[in-house]
Amino acid sequence: MYRRHTFLSGLWRHLVLLLFVAFALFPLLWVLSASFNPANTLVGQKLIPTSPSLDNYRELFTSKQHPVALWIRNSVVISIITSALVVSMTALAAYAFSRFRFKGRRTGLFFSLLVQVFPQMLAAVAIYLLVLNIGKLVPALGINTHAGLIMVYLGGAMGVNAWLMKGYFDTIPNSLEESAMMDGATPFQAFWMIILPLARPILAVIFLLQFIGTYSEFILASILITSSEKYTLAVGLQMFIQDQYASRWGVFSAASVLGALPIVVLFLLLQKYLVSGLTAGAVKG
């Protein structure tokens, strides 16, 4: 009787788990199926297409009007540069908040997190005007430049990332740095050679989260980037479905599948760091 009860309890849990997995995978499988549907429409779309074809993928690499490969490259380059700079800035800020005691420390942490409460779209007009005026002084950072877009992304990336990384730094004993400085290392050398290697999991987590957020960001990129050759993937994809009577959902789905590959590859490369980085960063704050 006890074994039967245990079996039924385990079966119920597995069924619930399979239900959640199916709920999560169904949209992905539907988009993948649509990418192989030569009808290029969602009308009559089936989970398994009746006559699968690679026509949608061929169009992506032959169309000069919609250079998807260029858009993916733009998104990857912008996301990598932004994520690397965010990790560098956040590591320095989080280390200062974790190790040093100074006036305004708690207030600075609080306000850095408070900024994250308000979405950037609320400041879209102000950001546009700011970048427009900066571009008059430094054209390389103005409207329709990737550098200007990266600068805007950096402005709102410190809050939660600093809190998360500070929590991880708090778990690293101070004695490691003290022993290194007793051997002649400077504070920066101790930070660079002792703390950062030990903090690789949280650095990987911050890099991945920032990469995903930047890669998929649409609103600011659509406002600040105006020419097709400089579009990011998120902005470029709207060109396939913006016409009410000529939406090409098959090509849109194929571009979405290809666009997801950089995130999948990055996730596979960093997956061994993700669990330890997220859990350790949430223990102390």
Percent of all residues in the chain with a pLDDT value above 90, rounded to a whole number: 22
Whether the CA torsion 190, 191, 195, 201 is positive or negative: it is negative
User: What pLDDT score was predicted for residue 221?
Assistant: 92
Residue 284 in this model has a pLDDT that exceeds 50: no
Kindly report the number of other CB atoms within 10 A of residue 261's CB atom.
11
User: What pLDDT score was predicted for residue 88?
Assistant: 92
- Of 97 and 278, the structure prediction assigns the larger pLDDT to 97
Which of 3-7, 195-199, 237-241 is least confident?
3-7
Looking at CATH, the fold of the domain delimited by 66-281 is given as MetI-like fold (1.10.3720)
User: What pLDDT score was predicted for residue 237?
Assistant: 87
Where residue 282 falls among pLDDT bands split at 50, 70, 90? very low
- Of 266 and 239, the structure prediction assigns the larger pLDDT to 266
Are the C-beta atoms of residues 220 and 279 closer than 8 Å to each other? no
Where residue 224 falls among pLDDT bands split at 50, 70, 90? very high
State the average pLDDT for the chain.
82
Give the pLDDT mean for 164-183: 84
Kindly report the number of other CB atoms within 10 A of residue 147's CB atom.
13
Q: Alpha-carbon distance 228 to 90, whole Å? A: 32
User: What pLDDT score was predicted for residue 281?
Assistant: 45
Render pLDDT for 112-162 as a digit per residue (tens, 0 to 9): 777 777 777 778 888 899 999 999 999 999 999 999 999 999 887 777 788
What are the sequence ranges of the domains in the chain?
66-281
Give the pLDDT mean for 56-65: 80
Tokens of 108: 């600075």
Render pLDDT for 34-51 as a digit per residue (tens, 0 to 9): 888 877 766 667 777 777
Where residue 18 falls among pLDDT bands split at 50, 70, 90? confident
Give the pLDDT mean for 273-282: 57
User: What pLDDT score was predicted for residue 43?
Assistant: 67
- Of 41 and 276, the structure prediction assigns the larger pLDDT to 41
- Of 160 and 257, the structure prediction assigns the larger pLDDT to 257
Give the pLDDT mean for 199-221: 90
